[in-house]
Amino acid sequence: MQKVLSRGQSEDVRSGSRLIFGTLYPAYYSYKAVKSKDIKEYVKWMMYWIIFALFTTAETFTDIFLCWFPFYYELKIAFVAWLLSPYTKGSSLLYRKFVHPTLSSKEKEIDDCLVQAKDRSYDALVHFGKRGLNVAATAAVMAASKGQGALSERLRSFSMQDLTTIRGDGAPAPSGPPPPGPGRASGKHGQPKMSRSASESASSSGTA
């Protein structure tokens, strides 16, 4: 347990030391250089920040593959102190010997790559933006059509229910044949009279 605590405490000390001496201290003196408009100090701290950015980028990979190396974290703190020291001037030395010549020879290629990456990222952003708008419009149209179909089905069910209610409230229609009217009765009584007159006329014509 004590070993775990001592290891955790040592990691906190290393992280705090790197934060203070590698970031906060240079940031404060960079502020003073900008405020005083001292070109020499300004260039000095600009060279430091360029080297520190490269160191942080390399550190991302070395922490994965070289963390097992003895005194690895202590060596990183010593390297940051070497960069900051006004006696060694490590950041100025690395910048003038390695970084500046390399960037000067590859500057045009780096600029072209950055321009191409910028154009591609812009095209990709526009493409995905249009695609997102199309998907949103399609979803809105589908939602509207589904809502309209549900509304029409609801109205149809309401209309059918109203018709059923109206039929239930009205009088039932007669199922049998209609009752005979006065015309039919007179027809029945008038038919024997017509047959009797016809027989009388036939008998009178026979006697004649």
Query: What would the pLDDT profile of 190-208 be if each residue is shown by its tens digit?
Result: 444 444 444 444 444 444 4
Q: How far apart are CA 45 and CA 127, in angstroms?
A: 41
**For a pLDDT cut of 70, what percent of the chain falls above it?**
64
Q: How far apart are CA 93 and CA 112, in angstroms?
A: 28
CA 81 to chain centroid: 46
Nearest to 99 by CA among 39, 41, 40, 58: 58
Tokens 């080297």 correspond to: 51
Please tell me which residue, 115 or 8, carries the higher pLDDT value.
115
pLDDT, tens digit (0-9, with 9 covering 90-100), for 59-69: 889 888 888 88
Q: How far apart are CA 171 and CA 17, in angstroms?
A: 99
Q: How far apart are CA 18 and CA 13, in angstroms?
A: 9
Nearest to 162 by CA among 172, 154, 171: 154
Q: Interior CA angle at 63 toward 60 and 68, to 5°?
A: 170
Q: What is the pLDDT of residue 162?
A: 56
Asked whether residue 51 carries a pLDDT value surpassing 80, the answer given is yes
Confidence tier at 5 by pLDDT (50, 70, 90) = very low
Q: How far apart are CA 47 and CA 103, in angstroms?
A: 13
pTM above 0.75, yes or no: no
Q: How far apart are CA 188 and CA 180, in angstroms?
A: 11
Q: How many angstroms separate the first and last alpha carbons of the chain?
A: 155
Contact 22, 80 (CB under 8 A): yes
Asked whether residue 57 carries a pLDDT value surpassing 50, the answer given is yes
